[in-house]
Chains A and B, each alone.
Chain A
Amino acid sequence: MLVVFKNNCKRLWGEKMYLVISLILMIAAVSAAILLTTRIETKGNIALVVPDQQVLSESDSALLANPYFNVTVLEKTPETSTLVQSRYDAVITTNSDGNDEITTIKNMAFKTMLESALTNPAGFVPDNSQVRQTGTNILGFMMMFLLMQGVLYARFFAEDKEKHLIKRIAVSPIPFIQYILGHGAFIFIIIAVPSFLVVGAAALMGIDIGFSLPVYAGLIGVLALLATAFALFLNSFFDVADTANMLGSSIIVLTSILAGSFCSLSKEATLFDKLIHLLPQKDFINFIDALEKGSLSQSTRYQLVYVVALAVLFLAIAVVNTRKDYVYH
């Protein structure tokens, strides 16, 4: 196992340009995740259209002072494309009778919430349970990149298969499980260490990252384990590196968005929503969300166990599947 690991390190060292660039990209991706998420404001954006010489009505000025909304006062109605791109969640105009009129492309629930904020500003408290905190956001953004890195770094394993080196390894005395775990250890370390260092550097610079560093170490470890296992699992089925690579990155992009790693998509308890819980990313996000809000329950703990168990299952399938293809019985 150690031999494979060391050999992979030497192979990587032999391509210094590749090493440097992939490390830079990794650092860029993680820093972008931290940079973006620490600056996210999740207030509702409202455009208040007040033409010249018009005095703000009472409810409008109350809305301006409302801490839950980000109100921009405009002279003209904003363009529809800004609404489509969610620059503004709603536009409030005053019609000829002096009443407020709300234009929005969002659903009725949002409109009623805004109406209640306009009519009763004092008693208005929005539902904040869906809003995520910094740590969850950072890890959610990082997740997709870490998983993709796994597939990309599995290329030494893919190269072994593509160039039929693996046939020679199969007849060598090294046990197959150790060979695959050696590749696994290599991928795990090359994903986990640089990303943890970036997070550590951010913490040292005094940026609020949500969790403490040991917790981050554990969580990044789980993510890196999942990434490694998935990459080896996928590569064990294909002999061509391109296929595994492109299929892997499309699966990862699709499932990460589905699991709501950037922002929560579905809220109702539909059948589809339950199915999404099969995705390890969803369970991971739920777990860290509960962890950050301090509302851990037995079921959220099981969700983390599920992620780890799935990773172990992927690894086991990778070992069995590769052995089936290359070891003669």
Chain B
Amino acid sequence: MTTINLRNLYLISKEDFRNLFKNPMWLFYNAAFPFLLIVILGFLSKDSYGGEVSSFDYYGITLMIYTVISSGMTSANAFMEVTIRKPNMRIIYAPGNERVIYLSKILSTFLFCLLCHLGVAALVFTMFHIHVDAIPQLLILLVLTELFSVGLGVMFCCVFKTEAMANQILSIVINIFAILGGLLFPMDGYGPVVRGLSYLSPAKWLANTSFSMIYDHNFSWFYPTVLGLILATLVVFIICAKTFRKEDCIC
């Protein structure tokens, strides 16, 4: 990456970032929806918990993980949006590397989602006094997972060339992982077979890591999870680089 490319990346990302705020749908999906989900689910299951740990303590954490792994939907849709196809044409003609097309989408969506999710987390965690601990480690996990899932969304677009397919795959895979990993309701109490199956889902590892850090101050899961996330993100970026074709992003 030369200086000119870095400058291009910065300029285009800035424009993309602004563009994301223009569509109220992205704001709804990344800020209002997770907030509603946590509030409603937390209130509904409040009665089945006693005093020490509230339902918000569980759903606050798991639904934040769910929100973060769903940010791939935002990046996939922002990357292949119809309105940015003409600007993409200009980028291709302009001097510099055309890879900034997808790198800028990853960067801008990453920042946008991170901003929304941190806002939601700060609001919800203070509103309902959700018990958190090991905040720096949780933030590291949040940032890495966000980068991975945003990259994943763009990767599916690069591999399959169409937004429809990326949407189809992402929405089903994310929700299967979320249910298996017990993000939408606790899965661990459903017997040994289900418990074993739930470890197939990466969401389960994230939830497990977070909960053992928060409640047991046990960091033994943290480093493997971070390592796994970094490796997975690298793989996603390499696949993006190999399969990206500038012809797919223009009108």
Contact = CB atoms under 8 A, between A and B. Distances in A.
Interface residues of B, number: 60
Contact of A39 (B185, B193, B207): B193
Interface in B20-66: 23, 25, 28-29, 33, 36-37, 40-41, 44-45, 47-50, 52-53, 57-58
A265 interface: yes
Nearest to A80: B215
Interface in A71-87: 79-87
Interface string B63-76: 00000000001100
B176 interface: yes
A45 B189 contact: yes
A70 to B, nearest CB: 7
Contacts of B179: 32, 36, 141, 262
A162 interface: yes
Interface residue SS majority, chain A = helix
Interface residues on A, range: 35 or more
Interface in A222-245: 240-243, 245
B194 interface: yes
Contact of B188 (A25, A82, A141): A82
B58 A84 contact: yes
Contact of A145 (B77, B175, B191, B195): B175
Interface of B: 23, 25, 28-29, 33, 36-37, 40-41, 44-45, 47-50, 52-53, 57-58, 73-74, 77, 81-82, 160, 162-165, 167-169, 171-173, 175-176, 179-180, 182, 184-191, 193-195, 197, 207-208, 211-212, 214-216, 218
Given A32-B176, A86-B182, A247-B28, 20 more contacts: A18-B162, A21-B168, A21-B169, A28-B172, A29-B175, A41-B190, A84-B53, A87-B195, A105-B50, A107-B49, A152-B167, A243-B23, A245-B167, A246-B73, A247-B29, A254-B36, A262-B184, A263-B185, A267-B47, A268-B47
14 contacts: A21-B165, A25-B169, A29-B175, A36-B179, A36-B180, A83-B53, A84-B215, A246-B73, A247-B28, A257-B41, A257-B185, A265-B44, A266-B47, A268-B47
